[in-house]
Structure 1
């Protein structure tokens, strides 16, 4: 059982990097969807949602960079082609969404998929003694659970 340059099992880190690349793919599609919502939103809640969507895509972009850098820290290469993202993402591409409620429902659904993947990564990171990935996923999950609660409250759910 070999160790990589930060002292983690190489086989376990390869699996972690693959799972992180799948997460990265989901984040990239989610990010583009939210950009589209920001650009195309119409209706009574335009001003409120336009700002909310910008806050969200800014946050997603930061997390995309952190995930890619974590993959590099583990000694692997982050996916960096849109075709790869489309292939690996569980989150579907959303086009031409102008309705605020539909956009918010899509966001809540996307967060569900992201949080679920992050929980899986928590378990994998635990098994690999990878505290760095574990801490990153734990922080994301607690923050995003609160976001989902707020978005669902907005939707009256």
Structure 2
């Protein structure tokens, strides 16, 4: 077996490790939010069923693509991407539930989840900026923009 080639992309090993650690938390939050959103898509009921069913589907499909981008960035930095429920449970800040909330509570929980992902993405920026890691900064900026918009749209369904 051949020895792996060293990674020489202008980011130190320590900085790549710190960024990958932060992105792993972002991946765990994103995957957990994906599962929650997909679950709510399947189980939503009530007068807003069609609106929420379609909105949740749009959001979980976007998250399914996002987790791949995040994992691939972790790999490009030379680190393994977490990929198990156990790893995600240890890394995520989004609580898992086993109850059956009504539609309004689903919306509230998804707003909280979207905002958690934004905070997690924002928390990785110091390491990314220190390393001048523009690809990771771009990924984080895109994720924050999407999740802030999703939180706003969900929150708008609740009225004032």
**Is 2:32–2:88's contact at 8 Å kept on the other side of the alignment?**
yes
For residue 79 of structure 1, report the CA deviation from its aligned partner.
0.2
1:90 aligns with 2:63: no
CA contact (8 A) 1:33 1:95 kept: no
Is 1:110 paired with 2:120? no
Q: 5+ residue gaps in structure 1? A: none
Deviates more, 1:95-104 or 1:36-45: 95-104
Equivalent-residue separation in structure 2 for 1:35 and 1:155 (angstroms): 20
CA distance in 1, matches of 2:88, 2:44: 24
Matched, 1:32 2:35: yes
Other-structure match for 1:151: 154
Q: TM-score, with normalisation over the residues of structure 1?
A: 0.93
Unaligned runs of 5+ in 2: 1-5
Q: Give the deviation of 1:98 after TM superposition.
A: 4.6
Residues 63-82 of structure 1 mapped to structure 2, 5 A cutoff:
63-82=66-85
Please identify runs of 4+ aligned residues in structure 1 that moved more than 3 A: none
The aligned length equals: 155
CA contact (8 A) 1:25 1:85 kept: yes
User: Equivalents in 2 of 1:140, 1:130: separation in Å?
Assistant: 16
Q: Deviations over 1:103-136 (max 9, x none)?
A: 1100100111110111111222111110000001
